Structure 1
Amino acid sequence: MTESNPLVGWRHLAEAVPLGVGIQCGETLTYVSPTFAAAVGRGRDELVDSSWQTLFESAEVGRIADALETARTDGRWRGATWMVGAGRVPVELALSAPADDGTVVWCVDERPAESGDRSDDGEMVELPTGTTAQLARTVLSTVDDVVYIIDDDGRLCFWNEELAATTGYSYGEIAEMHAHEFIPPDQHEYVPGLMEAIESIEDRRVEVDILTSDGERITHEFSGTTFEDPVSGRAFRCGVARDITERKERERDLERQRDELEALNRITDLLFETAKESIRTGQGDIAVQVLCERIAASDFYQFAWLGQSEPGERYVRYSTSSGIDGGPTRIETDRSGPVARAIETGTVTIGESTPRWREQTQGVESITAVPLQHRETVHGVLVLGSGQRDGMTPRERTGLEVLGRLVGVVLDAERTRQLLFADGVVELDFDATDVETPYATIAAALGCTVSLDGYVPSGDGWVLYLSVDGAGPAAVADRLADEPRVERVRPITDDGQSGRLEVVVNRSSLLERVTAAGAAVQMATAAPDVARLTVEAPVDADVQGIADRIVEVYPSASLLASRERDREVATGGQPSGALDGLTDRQQEVLEAAYRSGYFDWPRESTGEEVAAALGLTSATVQGHLRKAEREVFAALLGGD
């Protein structure tokens, strides 16, 4: 520390430093500065020669006693506390023990004083007898903040050790430097005496960066006051600079958390609106249109564009949008770009906006592609335009993935609804004789026929119901149990050489691709020398695309015939049918119970066995069955 200007003595420094300073010897305060007294709102005469315990409430005395012990042992203690004065006064307190004689230096955060800086006769308050400049330097060296004095020429004439430690400059270098060299050029307006005369600067707090010798900027909060030397008449600026890097980082963390919460809230709203419209209207096209409108109306995305994929096509076709004048009519998925990557990987992908999007929107810097996925099938993509280039948080990405899966379920349900409610259907017959499947292998080995009676989705897998003719169901079950995709298999009925089986598989490429295309497997049979597969789809479906999907799964399969037929009026699932009022889950549980023989007498499967196949609890299955039975009877008997 240096004191290059002899006119600046301890008396002036103690008067000007915007920190309260006190000295404790034994248990008594032997000196307090005017700022110290003003900070706690008590008279200086009242504090000097009094016990330090009078500064605190009884509940706080014990903690400060421990703090004093820490300061004497470790050299320093710092923390927040409340002092008793003009009310209950909050302060930042620093305790230091610069010597081994038991003396403790007290420093409290600056508090503007109404009065009390001077004695009644206007003279400066005298320091204790024997006080020297060395004591001044010792006291200020205990302060963790940068303390400095600048003259009216902008030169540093006093500073503490913290300035050297913060900037990395030596004492000799600091003595030769001007104050503006410690401050970045874009903040020179805050340097006293550089752009504004020291005499005209009011007491204030500002956030300014300190430049280190390595060029690093460290944000500090500066507070200061101007005083005049009574001998020379020159003005000086005394100030304290506190490092607020950690505080600013906490503020940025809080801001990021607020942004994350706001992003999650808006995604939750989108999820709610999509689900509500899907349930209210029962139509997926209305639900996704409402979704796009809500997105474009928000302050976070400038537009929303939704495209759907079709079986066999290597592009997504425009479906609906909002906030953009139509947008591309189709996007190729075999090229590079966020949309192609989202379709390929099934994950939310971010990329820079391309001229294709910019020509129809202004200010869009990035686009986010959200895959619309149900199980293993991506039904399309939701493209969101944003004016920001920053990446999203993990929570926001997860929220968009959930939104994409919800819309994927809605689109999948819409295609299934079109199949169920279609007046006319197309049947596609395939020859699968040369296709190698576990069922064909078992049929050839045991000389039997294995047929698919029905299937029900279960979580990420499927529950299959098979009929066996010409072999014991137990023997077929034993062979199927060795298949990698089979999680569980059990015979439902066994008549020796015929019966039925329940098979739970963790995935089925055929069923996943067929149902994703809005079609259904009507019949699948494997015999020792022949295998057949029949798929049913709406008349307006992409028949060639469906056929291509099946051939992708079974390259050896060949399309034998396609034919149109009218669906019978009594077919279950028609709008006027008995199953029309059931939810998807109720219908799945009801069909699983029926296929497994739950309604037969005597029962071929128990409620617990049905629940195990679907991965549900017995109570959940019973609840769905009771509600489904009531809906069906109400439809058949005309009840309310």
Structure 2
Amino acid sequence: MEDDRRSTETTAEPSSDSFIPSADVFARVSDAVYALDSEFQCTFINERAEALFTRATESATATADAVHSLFSDAHTRALESQRPLTVDAYHDSSDRWFEARCYPGETGVTVLVRDITERKTQEQALVDGNRRLRSVFEDAHDAIVVGDTDEIVAANPAASELLGLERSALSGRSLEEFVHDDYDIESARTALLEQGRLRDSVSLIRPDGSERVVEYTAVADVLPGAHLVILRDVTDSRRRKRQLERQRERLSALDHVNRVVREINDAIVDGSNRAQLEQVACESLADSPSYEFAFIADIDARSKQITHRVEAGIDDYVETIPLSTDADDPAGRGPAGTAIRTGTMQVSNDVFSDPSFEPWYEDAREHGYASAAAIPITHDDVLYGVLGVTSARRNAFTDEERDVIGQLGDILGHAIAALERRRVLLGEELIELELVIDDAVEIFDGPSMCGHSVWFDRVVRIDDERYLEYGTTAAETLPVVETLIESVPHWEGVTVIDESAGEVTFELTISAPPMIGVIDAHGGYVESAAIEDGDYTTTVRFSTGTDVRDVVDEIAAVYPGMRTVARRRVTPSRESIEQLRTRLAETLTDRQQVALETAYFGGYFEWPRHSSGEEVADAMGVTPATFHEHLRTAQRKLITAILEEPALLDREPADDP
């Protein structure tokens, strides 16, 4: 019978006995025993050996074959060497392991045999377990380190990659060498020894200077004096988490800023005044979880002093911190001062690392903000103030959030400018200036205007750059006006609206006019203007709160020859609805009144119309042409009564020569 077998062997000291023991001796031995002579013939086998080999071979006759097949080489070597020999052999047919201890003598070999299958199974399980543990150690994705406080005694490949050194280079180094300085190693070591296990996170600094954030689990004394540490690199996941958190913060902040914009727009629609608009803006920002506090400061045009207007989320802030518009002053190089000088939004997204923010370091610590923004409130190049906003978040004013919050300056500027114009149009009292530019036509190398006059009755703003100016002149002067258009860069074209009785009514298209742009930007309007003999004269009006000196300076910067002829306070008369009706009744004929009322109540002005012109004419008993003539005349008189400037009362003497 041929078996596969594996064996291990050991040798022992030679026995002093060279004889085969008697049967009584064998009977006292608890192991299976058999003896062979020098020819390797079996001379003795005890019952235990017979029973053992019978179980293994399932046949008593196969005992000798089993003995020779398992241990024949051991018999020979023991006898030849005359040294005791112990071997292990695996019997494939029975799937059993046997151990044979061979004791040679001059006449043969005595062999003790035992079944060691259970022991071999346990040993193999231990080997397999160690192999699996080694595989886990070597192939683990997480870094595994074994060592004491002074030296790493074992590290897997993942630890080598995490720490940025070859495994051979880690030998002799301590894991603590890689731990960031801000981590309390002593406290962590004490907690590990007391608790036996510790979980925490820490930053590791690799030899190349790069930083990795890890979460670790440490187990104390896995070997005498040595600790096991498993480290998981969470740098990328932490970075993604921070990115998601910052994204959520930005989205939340954008929602808050958009809500502020809506609240400002609602305040505009509700007819709030400037102080109310500014209060709404600051309070909405301060109430938002994204921001700490907000303020609006005013700038004196002449002294350049920054003063408080509105604050929310804080009290008496502007008056207690250093602020300046002077670039040579450290207090003027921060966001607010720079925003005022440049007219552009300024941000400091990390105030403590911003050298220009040094004058306010203590203030930032005291009030708990890490980012600050200053947004100029402007419209048509006129600065109405600066909006300051702070946030506890670093990098708060970036990307979309910066763009949206920057729009607050434009929105507030546009709203304030509109309110200023409204104050002028509806104000109880106005400031009126008469300005003259001598030889204005010659400034543009235009044609001679000697003996010619042009009157400008009204300027209508179409958009930010384009205006329409309506006026009249003599028919013989119109060609001169058309020639002048070629000389004045902001005059684009003239269109004749009407010509009768030697007089022409025209529409002049102008683009970004320097003087009108300045007047409009300060909330004023042109009441009248004229060119007479080449000199340009205009009367303009502003609200009483306007710094007219600043206006005059800006116009003089464009037209150095401009002079102020008069400055006075005027009070427009205000007609009531009843007065307007009375005046219309006095100017409208009966048929014009009937045409207007019939058209209105007949639904002619609805859209879509409830009645056509022919139907209204039929109701009046007139022809359509007659109806339209009466209606147009009535409409013109109505619009004239509304738009024509009422008489001015209580003019004060000029206070500017």
Which interval holds the TM-score relative to the shorter structure?
0.5 to 0.7
Structure number with greater Rg is 2
SS in structure 1 of the partner of residue 561 of structure 2? coil
**What is aligned with 2:650?**
none
Deviation of the 1:342 alpha carbon: 1.3
- Residues 29-73 of structure 1: per-residue CA shift (max 9 Å, x gap): xxxxxxxxxxxxxxxxxxxxxxxxxxxxxxxxxxxxxxxxxxxxx
CA distance in 1, matches of 2:581, 2:398: 47
Paired AA for residue 243 in structure 1: D
Match of 1:491 among 492, 495, 513: 495
Asked whether 1:290 is paired with 2:285, we answer no
**What is aligned with 2:155?**
159
**What is aligned with 1:465?**
469
**Structure 2: gaps spanning 5 or more residues:** 1-118, 349-356, 584-604, 606-634, 643-657
SS in structure 1 of the partner of residue 448 of structure 2? helix
**What is aligned with 1:41?**
none
Match of 1:503 among 501, 509, 519: 509
Paired AA for residue 147 in structure 1: I
More helix by share: 2
Does the aligned pair in 2 maintain the 1:289–1:321 contact within 8 Å?
yes
1:303-382 equivalent positions in 2, closer than 5 A: 303-309=293-299, 314-322=304-312, 323-325=314-316, 327-328=318-319, 333-334=325-326, 336-337=332-333, 338-350=335-347, 352=357, 354=359, 358=363, 367-382=372-387
SS in structure 1 of the partner of residue 264 of structure 2? helix
Paired AA for residue 245 in structure 1: T
- Residues 107-159 of structure 1: per-residue CA shift (max 9 Å, x gap): xxxxxxxxxxxxxx9x98956999996x97677655544233x2567753332
Does the aligned pair in 1 maintain the 2:155–2:167 contact within 8 Å?
no
SS in structure 2 of the partner of residue 444 of structure 1? coil
Does the aligned pair in 1 maintain the 2:460–2:468 contact within 8 Å?
yes
Task: Flag the 1:501–1:146 CA change in 2: closer, same or farther, 3 A.
Answer: same
Q: Which has the higher contact order (CA 8 A, sep 6+)?
A: 1
**What is aligned with 1:524?**
529
- Residues 198-231 of structure 1: per-residue CA shift (max 9 Å, x gap): 69434x75433333224543112334667967xx
**What is aligned with 2:239?**
249
CA distance in 2, matches of 1:519, 1:565: 14
CA distance in 2, matches of 1:356, 1:131: 61
CA distance in 2, matches of 1:224, 1:360: 38
Does the aligned pair in 2 maintain the 1:425–1:538 contact within 8 Å?
yes
Task: Flag the 1:577–1:255 CA change in 2: closer, same or farther, 3 A.
Answer: farther
Q: Number of residues paired by the alignment?
A: 451
CA distance in 2, matches of 1:285, 1:520: 23
Does the aligned pair in 2 maintain the 1:464–1:502 contact within 8 Å?
yes
**What is aligned with 2:201?**
207
- Residues 148-191 of structure 1: per-residue CA shift (max 9 Å, x gap): 3x256775333222323332334343221233334335446599
**What is aligned with 1:95?**
none
Identical-pair percentage: 22
Does the aligned pair in 2 maintain the 1:350–1:369 contact within 8 Å?
yes
Deviation of the 1:376 alpha carbon: 2.1
Does the aligned pair in 2 maintain the 1:305–1:320 contact within 8 Å?
yes
Does the aligned pair in 2 maintain the 1:296–1:302 contact within 8 Å?
yes
Task: Flag the 1:211–1:472 CA change in 2: closer, same or farther, 3 A.
Answer: same
Paired AA for residue 201 in structure 2: E
SS in structure 2 of the partner of residue 320 of structure 1? strand
**Structure 1: gaps spanning 5 or more residues:** 1-120, 579-598, 600-628
Task: Flag the 1:216–1:326 CA change in 2: closer, same or farther, 3 A.
Answer: closer
Match of 1:266 among 256, 268, 272: 256
Segment of structure 1 superposing worse, 556-565 or 168-177: 168-177
Deviation of the 1:441 alpha carbon: 4.9
Does the aligned pair in 1 maintain the 2:214–2:232 contact within 8 Å?
yes
**What is aligned with 2:43?**
none
Asked whether 1:218 is paired with 2:212, we answer yes
SS in structure 1 of the partner of residue 281 of structure 2? helix
Paired AA for residue 161 in structure 1: P
What RMSD over aligned residues (CA atoms) do the two structures have, in Å?
4.7
Does the aligned pair in 2 maintain the 1:313–1:545 contact within 8 Å?
no
Does the aligned pair in 1 maintain the 2:307–2:318 contact within 8 Å?
no
Match of 1:553 among 534, 553, 558: 558
Paired AA for residue 254 in structure 2: L
**What is aligned with 2:448?**
444
Deviation of the 1:535 alpha carbon: 0.9
Deviation of the 1:419 alpha carbon: 0.9
CA distance in 2, matches of 1:224, 1:125: 30
**What is aligned with 2:407?**
402
CA distance in 1, matches of 2:133, 2:377: 71
SS in structure 2 of the partner of residue 195 of structure 1? helix
**What is aligned with 1:176?**
172
1:579-618 equivalent positions in 2, closer than 5 A: none
CA distance in 2, matches of 1:182, 1:361: 35
Deviation of the 1:508 alpha carbon: 2.8
Task: Flag the 1:265–1:171 CA change in 2: closer, same or farther, 3 A.
Answer: same
Deviation of the 1:475 alpha carbon: 7.8
**What is aligned with 1:416?**
421
